[in-house]
Structure 1
Amino acid sequence: MKKLIKRLFLKQNPRVYEEKDAQLTPSLRTRDLIGLGTGMVVGTAIFTLPGIVAAEHTGPAVPLAFIVAAIGAGLSALAYAETSSVLPFAGSAFSWINVLFGEFFGWIAGWALLAEYFISVAFVASGWSAYMQGFLGSFGIKLPHALTGGFDPHTGSYIDILAAFAILIVGILISRGVHQVSRIENIIVSVKLLVILMFIVVGATAIHPQNYVPFLPAHQPGTTFGGWQGILAGTAQIFIAYVGFDAIAANTAETINPQKTMPRGLIGTLLLGTGFFIAVSLVLVGMFKYSRYANNAEPAAWALRQSGHYITANLLSVVAIVGIFSALIAILLASSRLIYAFGRDGLLPKSLGQIDDKHVPNHALWMITFLAMILGSVFPFTFLATLVSAGTLVAFIFVSLGIYALRPREGVDLPEAQFKMPLYPVLPAISAIFSAVIFWGLNTDAKILMVGWFVIGLLIYFIYGIRHSIINKETH
């Protein structure tokens, strides 16, 4: 038993990651990281979540939920910024925790991230499908109902064919190389932000002040609607918007001068994304009573159409259709790098850690692509939105606590950090507690499914991973 416990706490030598990740080509600059992060943060969530969260949890006070989520994500972003500047490896939290706490804890953090990535890809693709169907519907084009949503025999939908198609196209794009993808991403994000500004300006002309009253509805006992209980529940659901931070960090090994570039990319994404979220959600709940956005996965375009702004609504739909691809690119890119890191370490089959002649881990990319196609086409949109936040929050807790193991080693056996999380040792604890409180606010289904996911992860680790890990070779 003592031997097993000692084995679980074995830490990876960071030089091993430096050597293995040297096959990946550093090509991403600050603007590319902000493009990837903003593409994810100001992606599906900004076009879809404000209306759903307002109807289900917060009423008009949905901007407060975004602000609370931004505070929690911002604290974690500071921890991410310091850690990524010291440990610039692919796999983000998985690789970092492996070096700081040991392989077993790295696997747990990485497995939580994998849940986040899997579900994020499916969630984003599902949101894209909803916008595409709305856009096609405005021209009188309708798909067979059985092909329009996740598996739900009660409504007659069985598979979301458009979600699967979107994931496949993005997988093909990423397989061409990171540098080409980042160019496409930056163009898409720039256009998307311009159209979001247009929505804010045009939508502001259709605001009815009475829709803001009462701004924070009273809590309805036995539900998660209203009051601060509703804000907390809304915050937990909204946290999906901030997985862009980890999507940036997963590409650290492919970043030029990550010690400076990574903190700028992380913090720049947070500030830009939060500002847009608050503005869009304020306009949206001002245009129509919050209850009218219930179960509406394309609330922004719907609100514009209902207000008579058909040209702007269709333009928004077109940009959402193209723009949500930028979120898919960011998250599929990050998830393929995580799977690569698992394969690199031998915790999953080593073929997943192989790099092709374009410096892309294509085996990992296509595995995650096909699995995400299945997930995204089968599970309903709102179900996926709730689950994504759980994996994100677990990763945020790990990285925040990781600062306590990182700081004493900086300048000793690890490089000195170019960016340090302020107010150490207090702020890392506050960050971890903040994420834990939001995790506790998730619905019961999300928490139960996360427990099930961790059970599967533990079985894989003890049956396969612990026996094939590269740490075994290094310690014998």
Structure 2
Amino acid sequence: MKKLIQRLLWKQDPAVYEAKDSKLTPSLTTIDLIGLGTGMVVGTAIFTLPGIVAAEHTGPAVPLAFIVAAIGAGLSALAYAETSSVLPFAGSAFSWINVLFGEFFGWIAGWALLAEYFISVAFVASGWSAYMQGFLASLGIQLPRALTGGFDPGHGSYVDILAALAILVVGILISRGLHQVSRIENVIVAVKLLVILMFIVVGATAIQAKNYVPFIPPHRPGTSFGGWQGILAGTAQIFIAYVGFDAIAANTAETRNPQKTMPRGLIGTLVLGTGFFIAVSLVLVGMFRYDRYANNAEPAAWALRHAGHYFTANLLSVVAIVGIFSALIAILLASSRLIYAFGRDGLLPKGLGVIDDRHVPNHALWLITVLAMILGSVFPFTFLATLVSAGTLVAFIFVSLGIYALRPREGKDLPDAQFKMPWYPVLPAISALFSAVIFWGLNIDAKILMIGWFAIGLVIYFAYGLRHSIINQEHRNRP
């Protein structure tokens, strides 16, 4: 037992990651990182979640849920900024925790990230499909009911064909190389932000003050609606909006001067994304009573149409259709780098850690693309949203606590950080606690499914990863 525990706590030498990741091309700038992060943060979530969260949890107080989520994400972003500046490796929290706490804890953090990424791709594609269907319907085009949603025989849907198609197209695009992708991403994000500003301006003309009253509806006993209970439940669901932080960090090995660029990209994404979320959600719940957004995955375009702004609504739908691709690009890119990191370390088959002539881990990319196509086309939108938040929160807890192992090693066996999380040692604990409280606010289904996900991860680790890992082989070969 003692020997097994020692094996679980073996820590990876950062030099190993540095050597293996050297085949990846560092081409991303601060603007590119903010583009990737904003593409994810101000992506599907801003077009879809404010209305759903308002109807199910918060009422008009949905901006408060975004603010609470931003505080929690902001604390974690500070931890991410310091860690990524010291450990600029692919795989983000998986690689960092491997170096700081040992392989077993690295695998747990990485497995949580995989849930976050894997389900995020499906979630984003599902949101894109909802907007595409709304746009097609405005033109009088209706897809067969069986092809319009996740597996739900009671409502006549079996597969979301548009979600699967979106993932496939983005997979093909990423396989052509990172430099080309980052340029496309920046253009899409710029156009998307302009149209969101247009929604805020046009939608503000249709605001009715009565829709804000009461701003925080009273709590309904036995439910997660109303009061601070509803705001906390909304915050837990909204946390998917901030998954873009880790999507940025996953590309650290492909970033120029990551010691300075990565903190700027992380914090810039937080500030920009939070501002847009608060503005959009305030306008949205002011246009119509919150309960009219129930089960509506395209609330912004719907609100504009029903307020008589048909041109703006259709323009928003078109931009959402194109813009949500920017979120798909960011998260599929990050998830392929995580799978690559698993293969690089031998915790999954080593073929997944192979980098091709275009400096892209295409084996990892196509594995996650195919699996996400299946998941995104079968499971419903709101189900996926809650599960993503769970994986995100677990990763945030790990990275926040990782500061306690990182800080004593900075300037010794690890480089000194160019950016340091302030108010150490208090703030990392507050950050971890904040994420843990929000995790506790998730619904019971999300918690049970995450337990099941971790159980599968443990089986894979002990059945395959522990025996095939690079660290295990290195220790076994030592005299």
- Which bracket does the TM-score occupy, shorter chain normalised? over 0.9
SS of the aligned residue for 2:154 comes to coil
How many Å separate the matches in 1 of 2:424 and 2:14? 24
Match of 2:262 in 1: 262
Q: Give the superposition deviation at 1:402.
A: 0.1
How many Å separate the matches in 2 of 1:160 and 1:19? 42
How many Å separate the matches in 2 of 1:3 and 1:422? 38
How many Å separate the matches in 2 of 1:444 and 1:304? 35
SS of the aligned residue for 2:158 comes to coil
TM-score by length of 1: 1.00
**One-letter amino acid matched to 1:167:** I
SS of the aligned residue for 1:428 comes to helix
For residues 83-138 of structure 1, the C-alpha deviation after alignment (integer angstroms, 9 at most, x for no partner) is 00000000000000000000000000000000000110000000000000000000
Match of 2:98 in 1: 98
Q: 5 Å matches for 1:309-328?
A: 309-328=309-328
How many Å separate the matches in 1 of 2:181 and 2:42? 18
Q: Give the superposition deviation at 1:78.
A: 0.1
Q: Give the superposition deviation at 1:386.
A: 1.0
Match of 1:465 in 2: 465
User: Which aligned runs of 4 or more in structure 1 are off by greater than 3 angstroms?
Assistant: none
Q: Which runs of 5+ in 2 are unaligned?
A: none
**One-letter amino acid matched to 1:209:** A
**One-letter amino acid matched to 2:18:** E
**One-letter amino acid matched to 2:58:** T
How many Å separate the matches in 1 of 2:84 and 2:452? 30
How many Å separate the matches in 1 of 2:236 and 2:280? 19
TM-score by length of 2: 0.99
In the alignment, is residue 108 of structure 1 matched against residue 119 of structure 2?
no
How many Å separate the matches in 2 of 1:436 and 1:100? 21
Q: Give the superposition deviation at 1:305.
A: 0.2
State whether residues 83 and 406 of structure 2, in contact with CA within 8 Å, keep that contact through their aligned partners in structure 1: yes
For residues 151-180 of structure 1, the C-alpha deviation after alignment (integer angstroms, 9 at most, x for no partner) is 001101000000000000000000000100
Match of 1:303 in 2: 303
Match of 1:405 in 2: 405
How many Å separate the matches in 1 of 2:385 and 2:111? 18
Match of 1:134 in 2: 134
Q: Give the superposition deviation at 1:80.
A: 0.1
For residues 17-68 of structure 1, the C-alpha deviation after alignment (integer angstroms, 9 at most, x for no partner) is 0000000000000000000000000000000000000000000000000000
Q: 5 Å matches for 1:228-377?
A: 228-377=228-377
Match of 1:53 in 2: 53
How many Å separate the matches in 2 of 1:2 and 1:214? 59
For residues 157-212 of structure 1, the C-alpha deviation after alignment (integer angstroms, 9 at most, x for no partner) is 00000000000000000000010000000000000000000000000000000000
For residues 264-299 of structure 1, the C-alpha deviation after alignment (integer angstroms, 9 at most, x for no partner) is 000000000000000000000000000000000000
Q: Give the superposition deviation at 1:238.
A: 0.1
**One-letter amino acid matched to 2:175:** S
Match of 2:396 in 1: 396
Match of 1:82 in 2: 82
Match of 2:22 in 1: 22
Q: Give the superposition deviation at 1:473.
A: 2.3
Aligned positions, number: 476
Aligned-pair identity in percent equals 89
Match of 2:3 in 1: 3
**One-letter amino acid matched to 2:455:** V
State whether residues 117 and 332 of structure 2, in contact with CA within 8 Å, keep that contact through their aligned partners in structure 1: yes
In the alignment, is residue 170 of structure 1 matched against residue 175 of structure 2?
no
SS of the aligned residue for 2:397 comes to helix
Q: Which runs of 5+ in 1 are unaligned?
A: none
In the alignment, is residue 34 of structure 1 matched against residue 34 of structure 2?
yes
How many Å separate the matches in 2 of 1:20 and 1:74? 31
Match of 1:417 in 2: 417
For residues 372-407 of structure 1, the C-alpha deviation after alignment (integer angstroms, 9 at most, x for no partner) is 000000000011111110000000000000000000
In the alignment, is residue 119 of structure 1 matched against residue 119 of structure 2?
yes
**One-letter amino acid matched to 1:196:** I
For residues 283-326 of structure 1, the C-alpha deviation after alignment (integer angstroms, 9 at most, x for no partner) is 00000000000000000000000000000000000000000000
In the alignment, is residue 148 of structure 1 matched against residue 132 of structure 2?
no
How many Å separate the matches in 2 of 1:116 and 1:393? 9
**One-letter amino acid matched to 1:194:** L
Q: Give the superposition deviation at 1:474.
A: 1.7
SS of the aligned residue for 1:22 comes to helix
How many Å separate the matches in 1 of 2:186 and 2:351? 31
State whether residues 346 and 469 of structure 2, in contact with CA within 8 Å, keep that contact through their aligned partners in structure 1: yes
Q: Give the superposition deviation at 1:472.
A: 1.8
For residues 228-247 of structure 1, the C-alpha deviation after alignment (integer angstroms, 9 at most, x for no partner) is 00000000000000000000
**One-letter amino acid matched to 2:388:** V
